[in-house]
Each structure stands twice: as structure tokens, then as C-alpha cells.
Structure 1
């Protein structure tokens, strides 16, 4: 009998009560250290407020999920999808994230990032411009969040 498949970062918490917050944070830390090449390339463009002057965090635990990238000022999640992602399941998860947390998700495939990073960044810039700021002073002020040095603060 084959071993059961471990849940992906977007399946955390499915069935059986889910994984503890400590386990999720530890897994997110490992994911930050061992990023796949498409995520690494995108992170190099997002870190240090390089895109539209906005702060992004990577491999962030939100609820029972670990999301690839998160822009707190806009409440925008960026997911990088490999070949195994199911669009119907992803749409359901994205709807749950919007309903439960008010965060919008934009998705790109590994192929899009590896073959057309400029197009991905152009689309992201457009989405960021169209998305309202979450706080009254926008980029000037937002609630303090813990940030590790490895995130490129």
C-alpha cells in the first residue's frame, strides 16, 4: 500500500483538525530556505519593496495555509502554481481566503514566471494599482508585522 500523500501548502488543515500553527510556521521557514526556482526568481523582483514600492512577505501562514507571497498593504496573495494544481480546487481555496480574511489571490504558473517574468511583473503591477490600500495612509503606515531578515526587509 503506497504511503499517504502529504498535504501541499494550500491543503493545510484539510481533515482531522489540521496542523498546529507551530508546525505550519516551521514548514513555512523550510519553504523559505528551499524555494523552487520560479518562486526564487519572482521573490528577487518583489523583495526590498522593488515592485511598486510595496512590501511583500514570502511563505506566510494565513489561517491554515501557507501562501507563496503576501502584500500586507494591499491584502494581495500571489500563488505560484506547478503542474499539479487543480484550477477548481484553487478557485475554491481562493474564495475561502477572500471570504474568511478579505485577501484577493492572483495566480501565476511556473511556466509563466520562467518564460515571461516581465509579463508577470506587468500584470502584478496592474493588479496592485487596481487594488485599494488596506489602511488610511496606504504605504506610509500599516500595522507592524514581524519580519525576518531573510525576507529582505
Structure 2
């Protein structure tokens, strides 16, 4: 299969995004890094095809996206939907959370993520 992860041309953008996580991304990352969630490795700002996803768990083929206010825009919602369809066609599972939920109920977010693990 052709390489679809971490295209070289997106490397600088991925680095920039990792250095400048949103507050919600930083909060969730604290609970995902170093295999803290059920011993699963997560990557942040990982690219698949031409998309940079917020978080990716390779062993589960699970993508986690956090949505801020920009995702309330109709055009952005359409883009997000198309992007999700493309990623799902490639065999990935995409789950989305509003930033607000990460701050208000992080344990619920982590449980929902873990519920998508295969075992």
C-alpha cells in the first residue's frame, strides 16, 4: 500500500501545530501522552493523506478531532464531514468532541475514546 502517513511537505506545519496546541488539545494531550489511556500510543498533529488530524492512535486506527467555534460554521461543517468520509473510506474511525466537553468533562471524553478500542 502507498505511504499515506506524514507526507514530508506537511512536516513543518505539523511541527508548528504541535508547538501551538489549542488549550483543549493541550488538556486532552496530558491524558493521552505516554500511553496513559489503556496503554495505547497516541500521536498529536499526525497527517494522513493531505489532512492533519488532532490525535491519532495507530493500533486502533482511531482519529480524535477537537472542534472549537470555527466548526460551527456551515462551510467548515461540510468540509469536516467530507474529510471524515474520506478518512473512514481509508479504514480509520473518526470521533469528534467539542472543546467545551474536554474542559467540562474530561473523564467522559476519555471513556468515550476508550470505548472505541477493539478490546
Q: Highest CA radius of gyration, 1 or 2?
A: 1
Equivalent-residue separation in structure 1 for 2:62 and 2:47 (angstroms) = 14
2:113 is the alignment partner of 1:124: yes
User: Aligned-pair distance for 1:65?
Assistant: 0.6
Q: Hey, which bits of structure 1, 4+ residues long, moved more than 2 A?
A: 86-89
Larger fraction in helix: 2
TM-score, structure 1 as length reference: 0.67
Q: Distance in 2 between matches of 1:62 and 1:88?
A: 19
Q: Which residue of 2 aligns with 1:44?
A: 30
2:101 matched residue in structure 1: 112
Structure 2 partner of 1:64: 50
Q: What is the RMSD computed on CA atoms of the aligned residues?
A: 1.4
Q: Deviations over 1:10-48 (max 9, x none)?
A: xxxxxxxxxxx4441101101101101100010000000
More strand by percentage: 2
Q: CA deviation at 1:68?
A: 0.4
Structure 1 position 55, deviation (Å): 0.5
1-structure distance, mates of 2:64, 2:32: 11
Q: Cα distance, 1:114 vs. partner?
A: 1.0
